[in-house]
Structure 1
Amino acid sequence: MNVVFACLDADTLGGIQQVTHTLAQGLAGRGHEVHVIGVHRARAPFRYVDEPLYRQHVISRHPLDTVGRSARAAADRRLARLLATMPPGFVIMTSPGMVTRMAGAVPASLRPIGQYHGSYEHARDCWHLNSIRAHYPELDQAVFLSPDDAWRFAEHALLPNTWSVPNPLAAWPEKVSTLETPRVLGIGRLEGVKRFDRLISAFARSDAPPGWELHLIGDGAERDRLRAHAIREGVEERVVFRGRVPAAEMPREYLGASILAVTSEHEGLPIVLLESAAHGVPAVAFEVSGGVRSVAPVLVPPGDVDAFGQELAGLMGSVQERRRLGATARATAEAFLLDHVLDGWESLFAHIER
């Protein structure tokens, strides 16, 4: 069958884009015709798949935040013309912004599906919920990351067409961490929404045993502010800013860690939780979504920095507990293997066709 993924930008370094390209490659590998459309090119395009089995399209060569009304309208016309040439199948719009952008542009030959990569809690606290309420009921299916989130949108946003398919774990590692290296990992863009300031504070309040360090992998606008925050918290010599690490080198990072920490303001189902779990690394996370609840073995009320620090302290102080929870996390992660997730998408396509 023909499957089209449509993103506002498909080559930005981000979770939505990573999941999109992983699914596209997986479905193409199963013999489907797959297209990935980015309406705008990213400022710094990132290549997710070295040898894609699917076709990629960029409608506008200009980043989204640089185009005016007339250029946007021209891009929308080019998008509509491209969609009109596609064979019958499905078009998966990967965000509320993409659903509204494509209103009226999807031909009758393509069955429209709207994804949402966030949680109900996040949608409720911003413009997303009203947009989902307004536009997703008219789609053939509205897809969320966990059964819990799908239920919440069905109940509270009155969506009649919810479905859940999780994010995929692209690869299964044969090796697992020994969980003996005294290292806590925080992974993601150094931006406000990730709230690494809370992680630094929690690490400082955990009274970490000698030798333990917090390694932050990622880069972003908050780097200098976070360095200053580590100094104020008195842990500047134990917080290591690693910058970007290539995706191919991330397995080594998980194997060299003992705890993953997720302190984001909001998350859907972060890939780092799945990857760390597959490497047998237990995670402490703020309970901000059904997706997080489905994977993280240690959950903390959102924003409770003291409780987060206590959970970190407990794990840092017991290799036995780390190994117990790491084994549980790895067993949980098997359900998110790419083949299982692709099965879920194919079941969804069959359900729509019925």
Structure 2
Amino acid sequence: MKLLFVQAGFGAGGTEKIVAMLAAHRAELGDEVHVAAMTCPEAGSYFAYPDSVVLHVLDQPEGKGLLPLSLRRLANIRKLVRSLSPDACLSFLTKINVLTLLAAGSSVPVIASERNNPLAQKAHPVWRRAQNALMPRAAAMVMQTERARQDLPARVRSCTQVIPNPCAPIAGVAPSPDGSRLVAVGRLDHQKGFDLLIGAMSLVREKQPDARLTIYGEGAARACLEAQRDRLGLRDVVSLPGKSTRPGEWIRNADILVLSSRFEGFPNVLAEAAVSGLPVVAFDCPYGPRELILDGENGLLVRDGDVEALARAIDHLISSPAQRAAMAAAKTRLQQKLSPATILALWDRTISDATRKGAFRHGKPAGEGYSHANA
């Protein structure tokens, strides 16, 4: 089977991690796998791909012209789809879903996956409306939580699958006795709520003077966050070193993960912490934390946006070594639910069903051109 994955970039985000994992899995099964992205870091993809997977970067400097960026991207995706003639396209995130559904038309089945919270993200509303209008064209729609599926238009819920992200434990968790090393991970932007977390740290410091927070990530909000930190006198308390050097490296010097997001699609970093035995404190934002954290068992959930409650929860967990140890021991609950073997099997079934639909739609005999996934 020939598969084309389409995503926004080859950077360090959660979507990029899942696409890399899926692509490697399907290549290992014997598929011809292509992964396209609009952009790529100068150093190459943050996540590694097998040599057999072909990567395509669609935004090229020589391609700039009079057409708006979205139209150029639409043309580039359409050109790639026509040249490859894949058995299926898998697209990720709102804008890419819209462009891929338009580019593929009725010639190739598209599995569109929403990875964020389209009701909350600050994209132009035309993109959400366009995705809602185009969803019926998709062979399948994939959401990461049932709450996200319920927020879709009623007419497309029936063809929507709920597939959480696969997540394997990260080695290297080594908690310190005092529990004072806090970490947060994500893009430095409004969605991730690091401004709220820095505000909470000014309250935590009053009761936990040894507490330190490291925020891993990069983004447009760096200058504002650094200014806020310095204004609150937290320069020696809060550090922003940039992205971790390797995927998962952030977990090695952490006692507690804090998720301060205003909204999420499915917080990968929260899942990584929970399956690895790292206690967490998280805002109960839509979507993801409530689906991953059983309050008091493997982490603490805090009322969405309540900075004072966040500070109290952090203070409580730092002061409770026995509860931190119990939360670490509760990691097996999510390990089973999010095991890569379980989740990748759900994707295999979705791909198989979508390609069968495409075969019947175009009069192709069932089984022709298929491999392992349809067996």
Which of 76-85 and 24-33 deviates more? 76-85
351 and 318 in structure 1: CA distance in 2 versus 1, 3 angstrom threshold: same
Give the number of aligned pairs. 348
What CA distance in whole angstroms lies between the structure 2 residues aligned with 1:230 and 1:328?
Answer: 34
What CA distance in whole angstroms lies between the structure 1 residues aligned with 2:65 and 2:326?
Answer: 52
Which of 98-107 and 191-200 deviates more? 98-107
Question: Where does 1:184-203 land on structure 2 (aligned, <5 Å)?
Answer: 184-203=182-201
**Matching of residue 293 in structure 1 with residue 295 in structure 2:** no
Which of 183-192 and 54-63 deviates more? 54-63
**Aligned-residue offset at 1:162:** 1.3
Question: Where does 1:169-208 land on structure 2 (aligned, <5 Å)?
Answer: 169=167, 171-178=168-175, 180=177, 181-206=179-204, 207-208=206-207
**Aligned-residue offset at 1:281:** 0.7
Match of 2:309 in 1: 307
Match of 2:279 in 1: 282
Question: Where does 1:58-69 land on structure 2 (aligned, <5 Å)?
Answer: 58-62=57-61, 68-69=66-67
What CA distance in whole angstroms lies between the structure 1 residues aligned with 2:62 and 2:312?
Answer: 43
**Aligned-residue offset at 1:133:** 1.8
158 and 85 in structure 1: CA distance in 2 versus 1, 3 angstrom threshold: closer
What CA distance in whole angstroms lies between the structure 1 residues aligned with 2:73 and 2:214?
Answer: 41
Question: Where does 1:324-343 land on structure 2 (aligned, <5 Å)?
Answer: 324-343=326-345
The answer to whether the 8 A contact 1:286-1:300 is kept is: yes
227 and 138 in structure 1: CA distance in 2 versus 1, 3 angstrom threshold: same
Match of 1:95 in 2: 93
Match of 2:228 in 1: 229
The answer to whether the 8 A contact 2:140-2:159 is kept is: yes
**Aligned-residue offset at 1:25:** 1.2
126 and 299 in structure 1: CA distance in 2 versus 1, 3 angstrom threshold: farther
Helix, strand or coil at the partner of 1:284 = strand
Match of 1:48 in 2: 47
Q: Per-residue displacement from partner, 1:213-242 (whole Å, max 9, x unpaired)?
A: 111122333333223322333433221222
Match of 1:4 in 2: 4
Match of 1:318 in 2: 320
What CA distance in whole angstroms lies between the structure 1 residues aligned with 2:78 and 2:307?
Answer: 48
CA RMSD of aligned residues (A): 2.9
**Aligned-residue offset at 1:191:** 2.2
What CA distance in whole angstroms lies between the structure 2 residues aligned with 1:211 and 1:307?
Answer: 20
What CA distance in whole angstroms lies between the structure 2 residues aligned with 1:114 and 1:334?
Answer: 26
What CA distance in whole angstroms lies between the structure 1 residues aligned with 2:122 and 2:79?
Answer: 34
The answer to whether the 8 A contact 1:179-1:281 is kept is: no
**Aligned-residue offset at 1:161:** 1.8
Match of 1:85 in 2: 83
Question: Where does 1:2-151 land on structure 2 (aligned, <5 Å)?
Answer: 2-7=2-7, 9-41=8-40, 45-49=44-48, 51-62=50-61, 68-69=66-67, 73=71, 76-106=74-104, 108-119=106-117, 121-122=119-120, 127=125, 128-151=127-150
Helix, strand or coil at the partner of 1:260 = strand
Q: Per-residue displacement from partner, 1:86-113 (whole Å, max 9, x unpaired)?
A: 3552211212212322344216452111
205 and 126 in structure 1: CA distance in 2 versus 1, 3 angstrom threshold: farther
200 and 63 in structure 1: CA distance in 2 versus 1, 3 angstrom threshold: farther
**Aligned-residue offset at 1:317:** 0.6
52 and 107 in structure 1: CA distance in 2 versus 1, 3 angstrom threshold: farther
**Aligned-residue offset at 1:344:** 1.0
**Aligned-residue offset at 1:310:** 1.1
Q: Per-residue displacement from partner, 1:24-43 (whole Å, max 9, x unpaired)?
A: 11221222221111245557
Which of 85-94 and 281-290 deviates more? 85-94
Helix, strand or coil at the partner of 1:241 = strand
Helix, strand or coil at the partner of 2:235 = coil
Aligned AA (2:13): G
Helix, strand or coil at the partner of 2:347 = helix
Match of 1:260 in 2: 257
Aligned AA (2:3): V
**Aligned-residue offset at 1:153:** 1.8
The answer to whether the 8 A contact 1:154-1:160 is kept is: no
The answer to whether the 8 A contact 2:101-2:110 is kept is: no
Structure 1 length as normaliser, TM-score?
A: 0.86
Helix, strand or coil at the partner of 1:246 = coil
Taking only the aligned residue pairs, the percentage that are identical comes to 23
**Aligned-residue offset at 1:272:** 1.1
Aligned AA (1:191): D
Match of 1:215 in 2: 214
What CA distance in whole angstroms lies between the structure 2 residues aligned with 1:23 and 1:139?
Answer: 19
**Aligned-residue offset at 1:151:** 2.5
Aligned AA (2:241): R
Helix, strand or coil at the partner of 2:301 = strand
**Aligned-residue offset at 1:117:** 0.4
204 and 159 in structure 1: CA distance in 2 versus 1, 3 angstrom threshold: same
